[in-house]
Amino acid sequence: MFAGFRQFQQALLHYPCEQAATPTMFGPYELDVCVEGPLAPGRFPLVLVSHGSGGSPLLYRSISLHLARQGCIVAALKHAGNSLGDDALADTLENLRNRPRQLVELLEALLADRTVGPAISAAPVTAIGHSLGGYTALCAAGAQPSSRAHDPIPVAHHSRIGALVLLAPACGPFLAPQALAALVAPILALTAEHDALTPDGEIRMALAGVAEPDRVTIRTVPNAGHFSFLSPFPKQMHHPGFAPAQDPSGFDRERFHQWLPQLIFEWMRERGGLRRVLDRV
């Protein structure tokens, strides 16, 4: 199975494709994809990816491409107002309201699309989020965040989102009682041992508030940092002034990203409710 690649509104779409892929440059990144290739026949589980604050969908290409090759349709959203080159709403309440709505709107647009919609299976939709993308995924699945002034933040959610993969998620807005009480989706949360931005302890404290704690799996990645969950950057982008390319001393991001996409895929099969769907692909 090869990976197709196309733009879909404000998202990058990766999907199963039977046409051969070729190495293609997208800015500084090389992707082995079939650009604008046709969707393979069949119906496939949908995965949504929400990037961190000021980030980009291409920063999670190792995960997206692996899942597409394994039989998933993966839509990685570019968040308006809080992405690379368009970051005017960073650190605002408006951004915290907008992000979940944008993810829900993307989901609804995909389901309604004449080409993509019929190819989406009835299986639970998985939302993957890194950092503030983890906040976004939690909200879209039914969580209720609060502001620093302890006021509820009105956010959109969608009942089709039935599994969550959280990578160093921003969980500060979910520390109020009952913030996660409505969540029923199984959750895989990965934290980084050396992460001052989204500390392991805060993440564990917030996720303890779900109604069914046995549906939550939390794993701490040894020696990882907050940005270790981003796909490896080309060598020319490795310099001290570019924090997203930096890892704690001794951490091998290339090797980690050979393991991380497979871990996510296997969890989706076993705990995310997709075994029957993915076993048919």
Q: What is the CATH number of the domain that holds 190?
A: 3.40.50.1820
What is the pTM (predicted TM-score) of this model?
A: 0.96
Instruction: Give residues with Cβ within 8 angstroms of 113, minimum separation 6.
Output: 8
Q: What is the pLDDT along the chain (281 residues), one digit of tens a residue?
A: 799 999 999 999 999 999 999 999 999 999 999 999 999 999 999 999 999 999 999 999 999 999 999 999 999 999 999 999 999 999 999 999 999 999 999 999 999 999 999 999 999 999 999 999 999 999 999 999 999 999 999 999 999 999 999 999 999 999 999 999 999 999 999 999 999 999 999 999 999 999 999 999 999 999 999 999 999 999 999 998 899 999 999 999 999 999 999 999 999 998 876 665 566 55
Cβ burial of 273 (10 Å; 0-12, 13-18, 19+) is middle
Q: Is 235 helix (H, G, I), strand (E, B) or coil?
A: helix
pLDDT for the residue 1: 79
Question: For residues 220 and 124, what is the distance between their CA atoms, to the nearest angstrom?
Answer: 25
Instruction: Give residues with Cβ within 8 angstroms of 84, minimum separation 6.
Output: 54, 55, 56
- Distance of alpha carbon 217 from its chain centroid, rounded? 16
Question: For residues 59 and 198, what is the distance between their CA atoms, to the nearest angstrom?
Answer: 18
* 267 phi, psi to nearest 5 deg: -65, -40
Q: Is 135 helix (H, G, I), strand (E, B) or coil?
A: helix
What is the distance between the terminal CA atoms of the chain, rounded to a whole angstrom?
Answer: 9
* 112 phi, psi to nearest 5 deg: -90, -15
CA dihedral for 1, 27, 113, 34, sign (positive or negative): negative
Residue 248: domain span: 2-279
pLDDT for the residue 219: 98
Domain count, the chain: 1
